[in-house]
Structure 1
Amino acid sequence: MSDLDLILTAAREAGALALSAREGGLKIWSKDGGSPVTDADLAVDALLKDRLGAARPDYGWLSEETADDPARLSTTRQFVVDPIDGTAAYLKGKPWFAVSIAVVENGRPIAGVVHAPALDETYVATLGGGATLNGAPISPSDTEDLEDAAMLGDARMFVHPSWPTPWPPMRVESRNSIAYRLCLVAAGAFDAAIALSSKNEWDLAAADLICAEAGAALTDHLGRTFTYNRANPLLPSVVCANRALHPLILSRVGHIALP
């Protein structure tokens, strides 16, 4: 079984578990830092670690819900996993959460799946093989102007008075899962997505490949692409857009100094 077939099968099984666990009632608590976690996050993580680890015992493992093991840094390939990306939506009964799984080699994803089980949407990509949604090829929008663009982000951020140049009117919406947001841009359902706050490798790795293979641009707010399986998995920010809008967004946010 190929890496892609392996992670696709595992993502679908994990998505089914996430849905059934939510229907059965969740135990919810807060992590250090205040973000929510549920018993289903841990159950899905355990399922994926078992399935993927048994099939590829020599691969490293990086997951939001597993204590990090530095041994991954010396492996040739790694699984980079977010068992339930968008836990806030998940625990509120909303559909905007996803299982995100990437296989990383030499710092870059070579296979990726973002599976949104409540929406029956499965985004898939392999390096050099294009990107698909439920088996059909995807590509970003052809919007060339930020005015009236369909933007995923925090509406309050765009109207903050401190911007040197005010943002034009845009149709701004939010989706809890960052991986799912990036896939929506890759598929042309939205024109761009911005998050000027830190994310982790497991939030981005699978969607990074899906965006690249679809033809969307994904960087931090300074235009830097991402490298994966680093000692510190924290990444500063996210700017994702079609190729026309991406430089227009960078010109507006590149002055910002983030921690």
Structure 2
Amino acid sequence: MTGYADDLALAHRLADAADALSTARFRALDLRVESKPDLTPVSDADTAVEREIRALLATHRPGDGLLGEEYGEQPATGPDGRRWIVDPIDGTKNFVRGVPVWATLIALLEGDRAVLGLVSAPALGRRWWAARGTGAFAGPDLASGAPIRVSGVTTLADASFCYSSLTGWEEAGRLEPVLQIMRDAWRSRAYGDFYGYMLLAEGALDVMVEPELSLWDVAALVPIVTEAGGTFTDLAGRPALAGDGSGELSAIASNGPLHDDILARLGRPAAR
């Protein structure tokens, strides 16, 4: 393994702690759910998971920075400026409705580059992970993971296309190009959140696109997709986490051969 072996082992330990908390609250009758200022839901499981991960990182990586969805940013104090990016529960709307497609997302960044990513979906009984230069893996835990690889599909007519909600694409002014891709593709489905990207990394589908993301939504996904052999950019073709200075991110993730076609069809999101 690479120099990220200890970090990867720690990420799995963080995920173990997160899974224990989140699964205990999944479908709990006394689950507490509130609305954040942007009207998205947050449950007591989201906040509990992030607090636990923060406590563990404070113990095991006290010099590293941390950005979490629920409690914001803690700057790095160490000399290398590394920071962990955490989404305690990606797919909170699924979580609060009892849908098992949700996960804890954990990433490690060096500068603007995600060098490690882990996605743990305990209600699905599956975990995905990758570190720079090691390949991507999936399985129940670090010891029993199996390598995963993107598909070899080369034409959209043979491809399975995955997208986020159509309302998001409509708001971005790019609904018609997405609909045309759906018409031209062999199959289209909206699996949503982290799951489409993980199915892409496993070769079960071929393209996943989203018009608007936050860093914690996507940081853990990038190394898994790319280490599985895929390509991951924003809608303007920039590196996935580079952004355009607005703080908003977007995503085109593909198996590689289909990327230029999808990028040409979607292009840069329309100005709002």
Same fold (TM over 0.5): yes
Q: Which has the higher contact order (CA 8 A, sep 6+)?
A: 1
Distance in 1 of aligned mates of 2:175 and 2:84: 42
- Which amino acid in structure 1 is aligned with residue 247 of structure 2? L
- Which amino acid in structure 1 is aligned with residue 159 of structure 2? A
The 1:161–1:20 alpha-carbon spacing in structure 2 relative to 1, beyond 3 Å, is closer
Following superposition, the deviation at residue 149 of structure 1 comes to 2.1
Following superposition, the deviation at residue 115 of structure 1 comes to 0.7
Counterpart for residue 51 of structure 1: 56
TM-align CA RMSD: 2.6
Distance in 2 of aligned mates of 1:93 and 1:147: 35
Q: Which runs of 5+ in 2 are unaligned?
A: 140-144
Counterpart for residue 192 of structure 1: 207
Counterpart for residue 250 of structure 1: 263
Counterpart for residue 98 of structure 1: 103
For residue 197 of structure 2, the aligned residue among 166, 169, 182 is 182
Query: Any conservation in 2 of the 1:29–1:38 contact (CA below 8 Å)?
Result: yes
The 1:76–1:90 alpha-carbon spacing in structure 2 relative to 1, beyond 3 Å, is same
SS in 2 for 1:122: strand
Query: Any conservation in 1 of the 2:113–2:241 contact (CA below 8 Å)?
Result: yes
- Which amino acid in structure 1 is aligned with residue 214 of structure 2? N
Distance in 1 of aligned mates of 2:246 and 2:87: 13
Deviations 1:170-227 (A, max 9, x none): 42222342x332122111111110112x211111111101111111111111111134
Deviations 1:5-48 (A, max 9, x none): 00111112202210111243311111111111101100011111
Distance in 1 of aligned mates of 2:88 and 2:110: 20
Moved more, 64-73 or 118-127: 64-73
Question: Matches of residues 115-134 of structure 1 in structure 2 within 5 Å?
Answer: 115-134=120-139
What is the identity percentage for the equivalent residue pairs of Structure 1 and Structure 2? 34
- Which amino acid in structure 2 is aligned with residue 211 of structure 1? V
Counterpart for residue 222 of structure 1: 236
Query: Any conservation in 2 of the 1:114–1:180 contact (CA below 8 Å)?
Result: no
Distance in 2 of aligned mates of 1:124 and 1:3: 12
SS in 2 for 1:118: helix
Task: Report the TM-score when normalising by structure 1.
Answer: 0.89
For residue 234 of structure 1, the aligned residue among 241, 244, 247 is 247
- Which amino acid in structure 1 is aligned with residue 50 of structure 2? D
Query: Any conservation in 1 of the 2:116–2:223 contact (CA below 8 Å)?
Result: yes
- Which amino acid in structure 2 is aligned with residue 8 of structure 1? H
Task: Report the TM-score when normalising by structure 2.
Answer: 0.85
Distance in 1 of aligned mates of 2:79 and 2:72: 17
- Which amino acid in structure 2 is aligned with residue 6 of structure 1? L
The 1:212–1:154 alpha-carbon spacing in structure 2 relative to 1, beyond 3 Å, is closer
- Which amino acid in structure 2 is aligned with residue 182 of structure 1? Y
Query: Any conservation in 2 of the 1:7–1:52 contact (CA below 8 Å)?
Result: no
Query: Any conservation in 2 of the 1:60–1:75 contact (CA below 8 Å)?
Result: no
Query: Any conservation in 2 of the 1:61–1:72 contact (CA below 8 Å)?
Result: no
Query: Any conservation in 2 of the 1:100–1:202 contact (CA below 8 Å)?
Result: yes
The 1:156–1:204 alpha-carbon spacing in structure 2 relative to 1, beyond 3 Å, is closer
The 1:161–1:249 alpha-carbon spacing in structure 2 relative to 1, beyond 3 Å, is closer
The 1:89–1:161 alpha-carbon spacing in structure 2 relative to 1, beyond 3 Å, is closer
Confirm whether residue 203 of structure 1 aligns to residue 217 of structure 2: yes
Confirm whether residue 61 of structure 1 aligns to residue 66 of structure 2: yes
Distance in 1 of aligned mates of 2:253 and 2:210: 9
Distance in 1 of aligned mates of 2:252 and 2:158: 18
Deviations 1:90-140 (A, max 9, x none): 111111111111111122122221111111111111110111011111111
Confirm whether residue 212 of structure 1 aligns to residue 216 of structure 2: no
- Which amino acid in structure 2 is aligned with residue 209 of structure 1? P
